[in-house]
Amino acid sequence: MNILDELRTRFTPALLAWTDDPSSVIEMLKASQDAKFGDYQANFAMPLANRSKELKPRDLAAQIVEQVDLSDVCEPLEVAGPGFINIKLKQDWLEDQTKQLVTDDRLGVATAKSPQKVVVDFSAPNVAKPMHVGHLRSSVIGDANYRVLQFLGHDVVGDNHIGDWGTQFGMIIFGYKHFLNEAAFQESPVEELARLYRLVNQLSDYHATRNTIPTVQNEVEQLESKLKTMEAANNPSDKKSQKQLKKLKSNIGERKSELTSMQEKLTAFEQDKDLQSKADTFPEIARLARQETAKLHAGDPENLDLWKQFLPECLEAIQVVYDRLDIHFDMTLGESYYQPMLADVVADLKEKGLATESEGATCVFIEGFKAPFIVQKQDGAFTYATTDLATIKYRVEELKADRVLYVVDSRQSEHFQLLFATVKEWGFTNLELQHVSFGTILGKNKRPYKTRSGDTVGLESLLDESIQRAYAIVAENDDAKPDGPELRKEERTQIAETVGLGGIKYADLKHNRDSDYVFDWDKMLANRGDTATYMQYAYARICGIFRKGNVDRPTLRNEHTMLNLAEESERALALQINRYSEILESVAIEARPNYLTNYLFELSNLFSTFYNNCHVLKAEDENVKTSRLLLCDLTARVIEHGLSLLGIRTCERM
Ligand code: ARG
């Protein structure tokens, strides 16, 4: 049962005396932060009293309490402080609820009353290049949301909206035409295409860097002369100007170090004679690559053939990563799929008077936005925006979607705001659209995470490294066991895989997705603290209890007679187990898997406290022992299930 939901439902009629819209305040009934205020707490008396101005919040709270009948579920409700309502569940009711979970495969989680068709648009790499660390977040956050929604009974479609039609294809086509290593291509097309992509990227980056250096130099000179003037006029007692001076100096420092690293990059590049000669041959490589893309889009047969030849190779390469990550999609309709529909989209927008010509381009202007939504450029090319509009039309008309989640970097938030606003005006008003945005993964220097040499980190090598590090940890723990190591080599390898991949995923999911986070191996794989490893150990530890006590878990569940939560730590653990359902529903509403990671962390902590305070196998009597074993069983099941919804596995021994 979703206890929170139940409490809110029971309170709602009592609120009608004070507001026409109880839903506006009902979320102020929440789990309480501190057990001394009860299990749940309702704070709505304060805003309601403010609005009605008839009663003091405390008196209003008292009136609400009089009208709500929760005597079957809760101890008498208490009004505290200025008007808080403290709610404590009855012991026998909680015991009874917990007992019901023992034989419930769904761990108390009901399926949605009105299931929706939900499209989760996630991962979506541009496939002409190998996947890198930047693709991790969308893949992992998208997958977790997918799994949670599906478990809640929604009809979920995972769509990998890959970039298979963009400028990167022009780059590999250009590379293929000019720099192909035939033998390497025969041997491994994917690797050769990746090499060509990197090469063309490197060459155009070289020219771009060379062209920007003078500008930056110029800027530095100007800043330095400004500094001189300021220093000459400096008044040491004027705090404001000291501050400005300091800021200017640090700005100059930053720009200079940028300049140095640009120059270093050029020097390194120029030392490679072969690269240098290629760069000299194609000073306009960026424009030439764009030209290849334009030819592809215009239907040039040669480029189209190459594209058709390359695409399957690119898809195969990303599939390898998805297999390792255990991530699945129901469809992979990339940008190319929508190309035939784009002209109609623009025509329709024009016909409805939504899109207008502006400086040769076709744009949708939405009130409140500075930039227009450009659906066709001056040169006639359609855009990312046009494709997204066509995609929505397809998802509504063909897939019958009720809701679409876009799991995409927060840097695209303006695009999605414009997209959603345009779609509304276009007439798709019954569709729920949500940008599930996320921040960047940073290195310890607080800049986007890169390798030591400044390259992007490949996703596969990241996974390899994590598994390797996990192996070392697993081996060390096993070697340190008091009765000697118990794991075979294959077992260690398998556990390392589970721990390594789980660690990476968990570290990504546990943060509020909107914020950036710093990638840190040691924190991520630590045995203690808010990590997957900690929970995986808690799970394995519980499995160990059952092994040691020779307990058959299914039999235990079927024969259970007793559930007794006399100890404080037993009660707290049971309450947390009962909250699983409300947590999953909150994840589903806001598409925030970190609510689930928080919950699981708290659960593992409560288990630890319980296990430290209460004997399980050596409990004082058989009934108490059974009851505690049932709590262990439920904890293990919730951890295992919760982690599985995050795409993370568990091991019975570690
Ligand atoms: N391929 C895009 C990128 O790498 C992300 C696509 C996200 N999905 C969408 N429907 N726009 O930036």
Kindly write down the DSSP assignment for every residue of 404-443, as one continuous string. EEEEEEGGGHHHHHHHHHHHHHHT-TT-EEEEEEE--EE-
Q: How far is Cα 198 from Cα 175, in angstroms, rounded to an integer? A: 9
pTM for this model (two decimals):
0.91
State mean pLDDT over 65-80.
94
Question: Tokens at residue 462, please?
Answer: 């990241």
State mean pLDDT over 532-559.
95
The DSSP annotation for 550-611 comes to T--HHHHHHH-------SHHHHHHHHHHHTHHHHHHHHHHHT-THHHHHHHHHHHHHHHHHH
Quick one: DSSP state of residue 456? Answer: B
Q: Which fold has domain 3-89?
A: Gyrase A; domain 2 (3.30.1360)
Q: How far is the CA of 449 from the centre of ligand 1 (A)?
A: 20
380 and 395 Cβ atoms separated by less than 8 Å: no
The CB of 148 under 6 Å from ligand 1? The reply is no
> So what's the pLDDT on residue 641?
98
> Quick check: 318 pLDDT over 80?
yes
pLDDT band at 175 (very low <50, low <70, confident <90, very high): very high
Q: How far is the CA of 193 from the centre of ligand 1 (A)?
A: 21
Q: How far is Cα 187 from Cα 179, in angstroms, rounded to an integer? A: 16
What is the residue-averaged pLDDT of the chain? 94
The CB of 126 under 6 Å from ligand 1? The reply is yes
Residue 119, helix vs strand vs coil = strand
Q: How far is Cα 435 from Cα 439, in angstroms, rounded to an integer? A: 13
Q: Which region among 10-19, 21-30, 405-414, 558-567 has the lowest average model confidence (pLDDT)? A: 558-567
The CB of 388 under 6 Å from ligand 1? The reply is yes
Other Cβ atoms within 10 Å of 14 Cβ, number: 16
State mean pLDDT over 167-185.
95
Backbone angles phi, psi at 58, to 5 degrees: -65, -40
Q: How far is the CA of 648 from the centre of ligand 1 (A)?
A: 25
Alpha helices in 272-379 (DSSP H): 273-281, 285-297, 301-325, 342-351
Q: How far is Cα 605 from Cα 31, in angstroms, rounded to an integer? A: 17
The DSSP annotation for 155-190 comes to EEEEE---B-SSHHHHHHHHHHHHH--HHHHHH-HH
> So what's the pLDDT on residue 432?
97
> So what's the pLDDT on residue 352?
95
Nearest to 456 by CA among 129, 134, 166, 195: 134
Give CA angle at 625 (622, 630), nearest 5°.
130
Burial 412-450 (b: 16+ CB within 10 A, else e): eeebbebbbbbbeebebeebebbbbbbbbbbbeeeeebe
| 251-262: pLDDT as tens digits | 999 999 989 989
> So what's the pLDDT on residue 238?
86
> Quick check: 560 pLDDT over 80?
no
28 and 57 Cβ atoms separated by less than 8 Å: no
pLDDT band at 446 (very low <50, low <70, confident <90, very high): confident
Q: How far is Cα 456 from Cα 450, in angstroms, rounded to an integer? A: 5
- Ligand 1 atom closest to 166 (CA): 1
- The residue count for the chain: 654
The CB of 385 under 6 Å from ligand 1? The reply is no
**Which residue is it, tokens 């118990």?**
486
> So what's the pLDDT on residue 241?
86
Could you tell me where the beta strands, DSSP code E, fall in 70-204? Answer: 78-80, 84-87, 117-121, 155-159
Handedness of CA 560, 565, 570, 576 (dihedral sign): positive
Residue nearest (by alpha carbon) to ligand 1 atom 11: 388
> Quick check: 462 pLDDT over 80?
yes
The CB of 164 under 6 Å from ligand 1? The reply is no
> So what's the pLDDT on residue 594?
98
Nearest to 538 by CA among 607, 592, 638, 451: 607
Q: How far is Cα 74 from Cα 495, in angstroms, rounded to an integer? A: 44
- Ligand 1 atom closest to 163 (CA): 1
**Which residue is it, tokens 């932060």?**
33
State mean pLDDT over 473-479.
93
Q: How far is Cα 358 from Cα 252, in angstroms, rounded to an integer? A: 40
Strand 403-409 relative to strand 117-121: parallel, antiparallel, unpaired?
Answer: parallel
